[in-house]
Every structure is written in C-alpha cells, then in structure tokens.
C-alpha cells in the first residue's frame, strides 16, 4: 500500500517503475508497468541497462484512495522461452479473462512477444509456454475496439530490434532507414478471438504528414521510435508514441485502426531521463496521461518512476501539449 496518487509525483516510491499501461477494469484503474532494477551494469543503445525480471500490478480505486501494489504478477523464471529483459507490458480483457502481453529475449537473444492469463486484473498471470507465433520486437499494446475486435501494436528501434525485421526475417546486422527515406512505423496485427494468437501477419503502420507524405527517418521530432499506444476519441483512432532521440511523446490520428495515421502534434515535451513511454486512459469522466521520468533517481536512466497528469482535448479533437517543465 502506498500514499494516495498525486499528479506528477511518483505513483509508488518503494520500487522503480516505468512504461505504464493504464486500463479501467472492474471500475478501478489498473496500471501495468515494467519494474526497473537497481544495478551497476552498462548503459548503451542496445538497452543493456534495462534488466527487468518481473511485473507488479498497481491499482487505484479513486484519486482519494491509496495506490495498491498487488505484488509480483509474473516473473522471468516462470516463462520457459524467455532468457532476460521483461520490458514494457500491456494488458487487455476479453473472454472473461485478463491477458498480459510482454516482450522478452528468447534464448537466442531475439525479442519476442509473450502472453499470460489470469482471472483477476491484479494477477498473478500464467504464461503461455511459447511466444506468440509471428511476433517480434518490443512494446506490445493491445486495443480492443467497440466491436470486440482486438489489435496488437508493437515495435521499437535499436535495442528493440525493429529495424532488423524489414525483410520478414531477423537480420542481426540490418540498419534502419536514414535521412529522407520513409521512417519505419510500428507493427500491427489482428488478434484471434482467443487473444493468444495472431489472426493476420504483422504489417507496418504508415505515419504521414498533413499532405500524405511519409514521415522521414531523419525527422526525429515526428518519426516513430517506440512505445505505441492506441486509444479512441470521438470516432478517431489516436496512435501515440515516443520519438526516442528527441524525447517527445507525439501522436497521429486515423479513421482506421490499421492506419495510415496522420501526424498531429506533441503530447508531452521531454522529461528527465532518456526514455519516455506512456498510456492514455479515460477514468471517472476525465482523460489521463500516464508516463515516467527519472526524477526520483535524479536522472539515472534505468531507475524510472511512473507518474500521471490530466490530459485535455481541444474542440477540434487535437490534444493540448503538456509542457513537462511546467508540471
């Protein structure tokens, strides 16, 4: 049990948390973060500093109640195919079952996506014995539409290995697009009704500018890097994501969950720390952005803390930019 949640303050202080996926289940707000470990290992573009081994589930009854840590929901040692690095997860509900989606490296060092199930949103979760066939890279995010069709979004550059899958097979030495070449977008796949397998092969989402031209790899203020999230507002699908090197959370919109998506703007300006990863959720008639920063660790990139702040829309459906330095 922790103190009651305060906007723009760490949700919990007894451990480091990151990459929050927030959902409303059973009338409560549940947050599925990754769990940063405190260690002295190397820090590099391959992400070796992020050694996470388990997941904890957090919940909030309302904003006047304490944040509850439900304890360990899943551990690396319980996943037969995984060797290390339980990075950013997500959760979904369907078929009277809760599903936890997560990335991990297999025993060949290749990132795959796994899924685990529970009868409770708080877990514990029981993992499937094998990764999801056809999956790769990191940062799974599941969107269940109003018609109950579920979509799996995923992908991250550099340590997330997305650029190594451009041919459809893992190419360890592959490099991503550069300069004026179209940037790589996230991947999307339609999930089967069992929520455990892909109905369709993953396809790349196209992100374009207001004129329909692809966002380029050199446009680091707008191009996709990692951390996709999809939510729906007034009939529009909003794809939000991290730009990585420029440390922004940005978004694009579409009338189709599969895209293409048209770039619209910035949600959150750079936070303290290298990575930024988020989710957007409606709870008790307001919209909230969940994000993380490294303020509690005074800037140590692999010791992050989940926070939240209210998110607002303009009348035309655009999202009002949140300036981190003003929070």
- 91, containing H or E segment: strand 90-94
CA angle 18-142-50, nearest 5°?
25
Token duo for residue 232: 């729906």
19 is known as an active-site residue: yes
Environment class of residue 276 by beta-carbon count within 10 Å: exposed (0-12), middle (13-18) or buried (19+)?
A: buried
- Please tell me which residue in 90, 139, 163, 226 is annotated as part of the active site: 226
For the chain, the helix, strand and coil percentages under 3-state DSSP, each to the nearest 5:
5, 40, 55
Reduced to 3 states (helix: H, G, I; strand: E, B; else coil), residue 76 is helix
Nearest residue to 236 (alpha-carbon basis) of 252, 214, 224, 215: 252
Which residues are CB-contacts of 91 (< 8 A; sequence separation ≥ 6)? 21, 23, 25, 30, 32, 98, 99, 100, 101, 121, 142
Determine phi and psi for 38, rounding to 5 degrees.
-85, 120
Of 19, 36, 139, 163, the active-site residue reads: 19
226 is catalytic: yes
Check whether the bond before 124 is cis (ω within 30° of 0).
yes
Residues involved in catalysis: 19, 226
């Amino acid at each position: 049990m922790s103190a009651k949640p305060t906007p723009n303050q760490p949700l919990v202080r007894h451990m480091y948390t990151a990459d929050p996926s927030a959902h409303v289940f059973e009338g409560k707000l549940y947050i599925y973060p990754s769990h940063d470990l405190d260690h002295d290992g190397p820090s590099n573009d391959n992400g070796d500093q992020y050694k996470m081994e388990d997941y904890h589930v957090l919940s909030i009854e309302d904003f006047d109640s304490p944040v509850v840590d439900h304890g360990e929901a899943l551990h690396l040692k319980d996943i037969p195919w995984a060797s290390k690095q339980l990075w950013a997860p997500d959760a979904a509900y369907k078929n009277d079952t809760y599903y936890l989606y997560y990335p991990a490296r297999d025993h060949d060092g290749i990132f795959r996506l796994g899924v685990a199930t529970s009868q409770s949103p708080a877990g514990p979760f029981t993992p499937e014995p094998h990764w999801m066939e056809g999956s790769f890279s990191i940062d799974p995010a599941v969107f269940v539409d109003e018609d109950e069709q579920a979509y799996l979004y995923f992908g991250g550059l550099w340590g997330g290995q997305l650029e190594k899958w451009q041919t459809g097979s893992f190419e360890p030495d592959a490099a991503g697009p550069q300069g004026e070449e179209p940037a790589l977008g996230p991947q999307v796949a339609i999930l089967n009704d069992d929520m455990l397998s892909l109905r369709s092969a993953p396809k790349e989402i196209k992100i374009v500018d207001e004129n329909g031209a692809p966002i380029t790899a050199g446009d680091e203020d707008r191009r996709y890097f990692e951390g996709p999230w999809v939510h729906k507002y007034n009939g529009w699908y909003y794809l939000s994501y991290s730009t990585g090197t420029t440390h922004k959370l940005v978004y694009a919109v579409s009338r189709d969950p599969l895209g293409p998506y048209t770039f619209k703007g910035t949600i959150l300006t750079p936070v303290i720390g290298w990575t930024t990863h988020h989710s957007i959720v409606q709870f008790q008639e307001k919209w909230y952005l969940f994000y993380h920063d490294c303020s509690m660790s005074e800037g140590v990139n692999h010791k992050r803390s989940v926070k939240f702040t209210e998110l607002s829309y303009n009348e035309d459906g655009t999202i009002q930019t949140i300036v981190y330095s003003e929070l």
